[in-house]
């Protein structure tokens, strides 16, 4: 467990040196001139704890749980994107794991990074290094990569399953959408919401 703490500190120090060059808002903006209204309303990322929006990169935190099995092998799990501090809209709810509770209940250490370390090209490299280390579940890292690196993915991800089922099947596979498919899905969702509003 001590090795885990030292490794966590080393990672944190290494990632402290990562350049933080990005636009003033800190959000990845959509570059296409034919952006849909829904894309223009991009407000951030949905918190995996309270389900409210994380409206800036500075307000986001990525965390996971670290423990050991009987043989001393590292087990990392529970990767999630949450609000960095207490969230006002959620009745002062703390979205992050409680380190004391996690350690008390399962001798688990909470590790994490600010979201700002995972956006942009340097952030992509950090995420790829996490993937290469192979300690965190690959599916969870890949989903996080798509959420913070692929323009429009977070909006499409938040569409309901019913909305997804009405759309054409993706060229690659479910959850891996090309930009043209993201534009199509957001356009369809925007049209559907327009019809709903018109019916009222």
Digit-coded pLDDT (tens) for 163-175 = 555 566 777 888 8
pTM of structure: 0.71
Confidence class of residue 182 from pLDDT cuts 50, 70 and 90?
Answer: confident
- Band of pLDDT at residue 131, cut at 50, 70 and 90: very high
77 CB neighbour count, 10 Å cutoff:
13
Distance between CA atoms of residues 163 and 165, nearest Å: 5
Instruction: Give the pLDDT score at 193.
Output: 61
CA-to-CA distance for 57 and 54, rounded, in angstroms?
8
Q: Please answer whether residues 110 and 99 qualify as being in contact, where contact means their C-beta atoms are separated by less than 8 angstroms.
A: yes
Q: Comparing 172 with 79, which gets the higher pLDDT?
A: 79
Crossing angle of helices 120-133 and 138-149, rounded to 10°: 170
Q: Are 44 and 29 a contacting pair, CB within 8 Å?
A: no
How big is the CA angle at 101 (ends 96 and 105), to the nearest 5 degrees? 130
Q: What is the per-residue pLDDT for 30?
A: 40
Q: What's the pLDDT at 162?
A: 53
pLDDT at 169: 73
Q: What is the DSSP letter of 166?
A: T
Greater pLDDT, 132 or 171: 132
Residue 5 or residue 138, greater confidence: 138
């Amino acid at each position: 467990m001590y090795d885990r703490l030292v490794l966590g500190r080393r990672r944190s120090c290494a990632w402290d040196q990562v350049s933080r060059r990005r636009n003033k808002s800190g959000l990845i903006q959509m570059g296409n001139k034919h952006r849909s209204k829904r894309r223009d309303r991009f407000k951030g990322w949905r918190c995996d704890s309270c389900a409210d929006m994380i409206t800036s990169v500075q307000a986001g935190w990525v965390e996971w749980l670290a423990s050991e099995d009987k043989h001393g092998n590292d087990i990392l799990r529970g990767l999630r994107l949450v609000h960095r501090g207490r969230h006002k809209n959620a009745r002062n709810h703390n979205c992050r794991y409680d380190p004391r509770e996690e350690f008390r209940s399962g001798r688990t250490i909470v590790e994490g990074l600010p979201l700002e370390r995972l956006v942009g090209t340097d952030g992509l490299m950090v995420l790829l290094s996490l993937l290469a280390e192979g300690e965190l579940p690959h599916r969870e890292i890949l989903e996080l990569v798509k959420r913070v690196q692929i323009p429009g993915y977070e909006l499409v991800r938040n569409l309901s399953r019913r909305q997804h089922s009405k759309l054409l099947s993706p060229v690659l596979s479910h959850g891996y959408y090309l930009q043209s498919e993201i534009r199509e899905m957001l356009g369809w969702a925007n049209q559907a919401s327009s019809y709903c509003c018109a019916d009222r």
